[in-house]
Amino acid sequence: MSAESGSGRSEARSRQRSAAGNIAFAAGSVLVLTTMTLGAFAGVYLTTHLADHSFLSPAVPADGRGALVIGGIAFGGLAGLFLPLLVLGLFGGTAEKPRLRPTEAVRKMLTVLVLGVYLVLVSGLVAQLARIFPEGLTVLLSVFAVGFGWIPLALLPWQRFGLADISDRLSSRGEPKSHEPD
């Protein structure tokens, strides 16, 4: 009889854990989506301010403003996506994935910001096409240029920059690594 009651309690606890895990996942998802959306709005404000009221305003044609906004969405969305993930990485950790050190988190956030600035520059270059093409076509080209703008970055040797641990973490997924040569 004690075996039956023990298994019933175990099943109830696993349901509670899964419900609590589901709630935590939903809360984390809402947090990440919220910061990503707010970051995209901040990026749009930043790039429209750059296009209208800064020393860069003569460099952006009037019809190319929409193309620059696409780069702002990418910049702010990336920063807003990675910020809560890095903050959670600072405070949460397991035996498999240790917590991030503050210097490591700052380095990763600066890398994300540099990628965002790169995407804004790509959209700024596409905005120059507004001198030739109509505004709608320029915005469409900007979406493709920003969307595929990361491809040249994928070809860089990230190990030389000390950023190889990102791909190592994603590829391992809890598998033990062997440091012995084959």
pTM of the model: 0.72
Q: How many CA atoms lie within 13 A of 72 on its CB side?
A: 20
What separation in angstroms does the CA of 149 have from each of 91, 117, 146?
Answer: 32, 12, 5
Taking residue 114's Cβ as centre, other Cβ atoms within 10 Å add up to 11
Classify residue 76: in a domain, yes or no.
Answer: yes
Q: Report the amino acid identity of residue 125.
A: L
Question: How many domains in the chain?
Answer: 1
Whole-number Å distance between alpha carbons of 120 and 127: 10
Classify residue 153: in a domain, yes or no.
Answer: yes
Q: Are 72 and 26 in contact (CB under 8 A)?
A: no
**pLDDT values of the chain reduced to their tens digit, one per residue, 182 residues:** 555 555 555 565 556 668 888 888 899 889 989 999 999 999 999 988 888 888 878 888 888 888 889 999 999 998 998 888 888 888 877 778 788 888 888 888 898 888 889 999 999 899 998 889 898 899 999 999 988 887 877 777 767 766 666 555 544 544 555 554 54
Classify residue 87: in a domain, yes or no.
Answer: yes
Classify residue 142: in a domain, yes or no.
Answer: yes
| Residue 116 domain boundaries | 36-168
Return the closest-CA partner of residue 105 out of 123, 122, 90, 126: 90
Whole-number Å distance between alpha carbons of 74 and 116: 7
Classify residue 21: in a domain, yes or no.
Answer: no
Q: Are 84 and 31 in contact (CB under 8 A)?
A: yes
Whole-number Å distance between alpha carbons of 76 and 71: 9
